[in-house]
Structure 1
């Protein structure tokens, strides 16, 4: 299936997404990689507020390159998601709706996705310049000293993504492997 996911984001809008579905996201999302995740966890441990409301948020695992003149952002391809696996269950428990990245996730993250009725979405790896074209506004909102890994608030239009982990336990990587093995007769 193909879906458009538009702001305001909420669990009701993603409940029918299944592994393999194509999604076009329009709205405000946030960037955060491992250094920003570590800092946000430290804030939580100290009882301090996070730079953005985690409820129904979407975090894109990306460290964009600097913007060229006339552009809002540089290349913005996904980073490998397993780097955030130590933090993702906690953020999902706080209400995060979706994660965007690339690659496999740990068993703990898969369980947290299902328990929290969230989704993990894959962005196209190797197409960073194309992904950046869907970003219409970008603003650093926290941890500016981290450079590319600072937290940014992005406004995206029709960002093309694929559901990898869905809220009922579907896993595109497992399904794809099974289909391939059937195809080759194993």
Structure 2
């Protein structure tokens, strides 16, 4: 099924997502890699994460005189966030976007909270950046540009494929079993 969703996402919406659905997101999303996840867990999030989407990405950013411009943004390998993701999910996020899937502890947290993991295609940073309408803000720039938490305004960001859903299905595991 092809779905166009607006952020923040409701649990009612995310519980309906099933492995194989194609999703396009509009609204805001936040980039966060392992250093940002670690800080979220240790210090708390700099924003209210309720229903928000976290994108595992280290964007390429250009600083202009009075604002930032996104040059490219693609997914990074999500397994690096495994030590922190279950706790971050339990803070109320609506969905995760990344690549490569995540571990069993994360899958259990998705099921407990009704959250979904969406896969972005690696190598498509030039495609995904076209959906970014503007950079709204940045937190934790002291971590470095790729590790900072960027708030992006997006329109029909995708295509994203649901690969881990709140019913416990994991497309990565299913493909491994068939191989």
Q: State TM-score, norm by structure 2.
A: 0.90
Q: Find the structure with the greater CA-based Rg.
A: 1
Alpha-carbon deviation of 1:54? 1.6
Runs of 5+ unmatched residues, structure 1 = 45-49, 182-186
2:138 aligned with 1:117, yes or no? no
Show the counterpart of 1:59: 54
C-alpha distance in 2 between matches for 1:92 and 1:116: 7
Report the CA distance between 1:90 and its aligned residue. 0.5
2:23 is matched with 23
* TM-score normalized with structure 1 length: 0.87
Q: Could you list the runs of 5+ residues in structure 2 that have no partner in the other structure?
A: none
The question of whether the paired residues in 2 share the 8 Å contact of 1:140 and 1:150 is answered with no
2:89 aligns to what? 92
Secondary structure of the residue aligned to 2:70 is coil
Deviation at 1:87, TM superposition (A): 0.7
Tell me if the contact between 2:61 and 2:145 (Cα under 8 Å) persists in the aligned partners: no
Are the equivalent residues in 2 in contact too, given 1:28–1:156 (CA < 8 A)?
yes
State the partner residue of 1:9.
9
Residue 104 of structure 1: how far off its partner (Å):
2.4
Partner of 1:163: 162
Write the distance in 2 (CA, Å) between the matches of 1:110 and 1:8.
21
| Aligned residues of 2:7 and 2:26 also touching (Cα < 8 A) | yes
The aligned length equals 175
Q: CA deviation at 1:68?
A: 8.4
Which structure's residues are more often strand, by fraction? 2
Given that residues 6 and 27 in structure 1 are in contact (C-alpha distance below 8 angstroms), is that contact kept between their aligned partners in structure 2? yes
- Partner of residue 70 from structure 2, selected from 55, 69, 73: 73
